[in-house]
Chain A
C-alpha cells in the first residue's frame, strides 16, 4: 500500500470540540426527531461529518465498535484507531455500531440490554442520505406533542421501541445533520 495514512481531520481542540459535540448529542438524544448540526471535523469517507464527530466524542478503548458494510474499511479503521483506540468487534459484542441501515441488519444481533441492566445495549449510528422532518410520527419523552422524521425503517424501529425498557438507541446522521432516536420514542403514533 503506497497510500499515505490519512489521520488528519480530527478535533482541533479535543477537550472543547468534544464538549460541544457532546452537547449536541445530548440535546439530540433528549429531543428525539429534532435535527441538529454537528460539525468541525473531516473524517475519511464514507464517514459523515456528524457520525465522525459523534464517534470521536463517545468511543475509546473501553467501547467495542462494529463497522458495518463499507465502513469496515482500512481508512476508517486507521482513522478511528488513531483518534480513539477503540477495538473493532463483531456486532454481538459492540457497544457502538456505524453503517447504513441495511449494513446493521438484523438488529437482533446487537446487545439489547438486560431487564436489570437495560443500559447494557448498543447505540447504533445509522448513516442516511438526508434527514427531514417528514414521514413517521414520533411521540414520547423529549417530544412536546409529536414530531416527524424520515426513518430508514418505521416497522423495524417501532419493533425496537416496543421492547422498552430494553432495546437499541439510535443516532441518524447525514452530512452534518444528526437526530437522536432512543428506545423510549414511540413510532407511528401508537
Chain B
C-alpha cells in the first residue's frame, strides 16, 4: 500500500481534477478541460474514468468496474485490480452494494441509488465533433446553444433509413442548456440518465475533458415530435436468465449460424440465475 500515494495520483493532480469536477457539477453537461495525466494504461482503456475515480475514491468506498456491462472482461478486471493495489479499496460486482461504479459503455440494469457515484469512461466527449471538427467552432456552438446541426444529422438519419439510426452515444440535452454525449452507452440506457438519484461523472482522458450530471437532473434524448425517441432493444430473451427486459448481447456460438442472446449486465444476469428466475 505504501508503494503508492492513495489512489495512484499525486495530490496536486487530484486537486486539479477535483476542482474540474466541482465546476462540472455546477454547470451540468458542460465539458470542463483538465490536464489529463499519463496513466499506466493506454488511452482508450479508460484513462479519463480512472483519473476521475482516483480523485473521487475514499478508503471506505466499495468499487465496481464494468466493461460493456460485464465485470469479468479485461478492461474491468484490470481497472478493478489497479484500484485494489493503489487505493486498497474493497471491490464488488454487485451494483447495489457498490458506492462507486466505473463503467465503460453501460449503465447497470439494477437501478442506481442515492449516494452512489457512477463514473463513465468517455472516448469522444464532444457530441458535435463528427459534425464540426474545429474545437473553436464547437465551443462557440455550445455557448450559443446552436444545435441545429445535430437535428439536421438526426433528420438525415430519418431521410435515409426511415428512423433515427444512431444507436449508441445518442445525444442528450441537459435541462434547457448543453447538448451532451452520454458516452457510447446504448440508447437503451439513455432513459436511465434522466433524473438519476446517483451522481454521474464523465471522464475523457485523451480528449482531456470532464463533465457531470448532479442527481435529479433532467436529461432528454434529442428527437422530433413525429419521430419520438425510441430506446430500442433486441426482440429476444436472455438464454441464461430468461430476462425479457434487460439489454441483450447477441453471441455467435458456432460456425453454422447458431446464436443466442445474453444479458450484457453479468451481475444482473448471474443474480437472476441464482434466484432461479
Contacts and interface: CB of A to CB of B under 8 A. Distances in A.
Interface of A: 14-16, 18-20, 22-23, 25-27, 29-31, 57-60, 62-63, 95, 115-119, 121, 123, 141-144, 164-165, 169, 182-184
Given A15-B6, A18-B14, 9 more contacts: A22-B55, A26-B117, A30-B214, A123-B22, A141-B28, A141-B213, A165-B30, A182-B25, A184-B27
8 contacts: A15-B7, A26-B22, A31-B214, A57-B15, A58-B18, A58-B19, A121-B23, A184-B175
A118 B216 contact: no
B6 A184 contact: no
B16 interface: yes
B140 A30 contact: no
B208 interface: no
Contact of B215 (A19, A20, A142, A184): A142
B139 A183 contact: no
A117 B139 CA distance: 8
A20 B89 CA distance: 13
Contact of B30 (A25, A58, A59, A118): A118
B114 to A, nearest CB: 9
Contacts of A22: 14, 18, 55-56
Contacts of A19: 6-7, 14, 57-59
A20 to B, nearest CB: 5
Interface in B175-198: 175, 177-178
Interface string B186-229: 00000000000001000000000000111111000000000000
A142 B25 contact: yes
Given A30-B212, A141-B213, A144-B216, A63 B22 contact: no
A182 B26 contact: yes
Contacts of A58: 15, 18-19, 22
A16 B25 contact: no
Q: 3 nearest interchain CB pairs?
A: A182-B26, A142-B214, A30-B214
A123 B15 CA distance: 14
Contacts of A60: 12, 15
B154 interface: no
